């Protein structure tokens, strides 16, 4: 549970950790389907990957500026 007094960095770190957990738990099985969702193109994996990509891009932007 996220307390109401967390900093933005703490919230971002918690979301990143959750996204990595989703990527780990929803890795495709040998048949190419997600073991949790049982679909070939898991929407949870797509959302987690997009979030991590966006966070990495935001980190790159702040470091170069």
How many domains in the chain?
Answer: 1
The band of 60, judged by pLDDT with boundaries at 50, 70 and 90, is low
Inside any domain, residue 50: yes
The verdict on residue 51 lying in a domain is: yes
Range of the domain at 34: 9-64
Please report whether residue 49 resides in a domain: yes
In-domain check, residue 18? yes
Note the pLDDT tens digit of each residue in 1-42. 666 788 889 999 999 999 999 999 999 999 999 999 999 999
Residue 15: both structure tokens together: 């979301």
Question: Count of CB atoms within 10 A of residue 49's CB?
Answer: 14
**CA 10 remoteness from chain centre:** 15
Q: Which residue in this structure is represented by tokens 């959302």?
A: 47
Residue 40 and residue 11 in contact, taking contact as beta carbons nearer than 8 Å = no
23 found inside a domain? yes
């Amino acid at each position: 549970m996220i307390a109401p007094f967390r900093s933005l960095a703490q919230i971002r770190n918690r979301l990143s950790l959750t996204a990595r957990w989703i990527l780990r738990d929803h890795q495709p099985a040998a048949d190419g389907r997600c073991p949790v969702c049982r679909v070939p193109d898991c929407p949870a994996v797509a959302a987690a990957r997009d979030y991590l990509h966006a966070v990495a891009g935001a980190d790159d932007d702040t470091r170069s500026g």
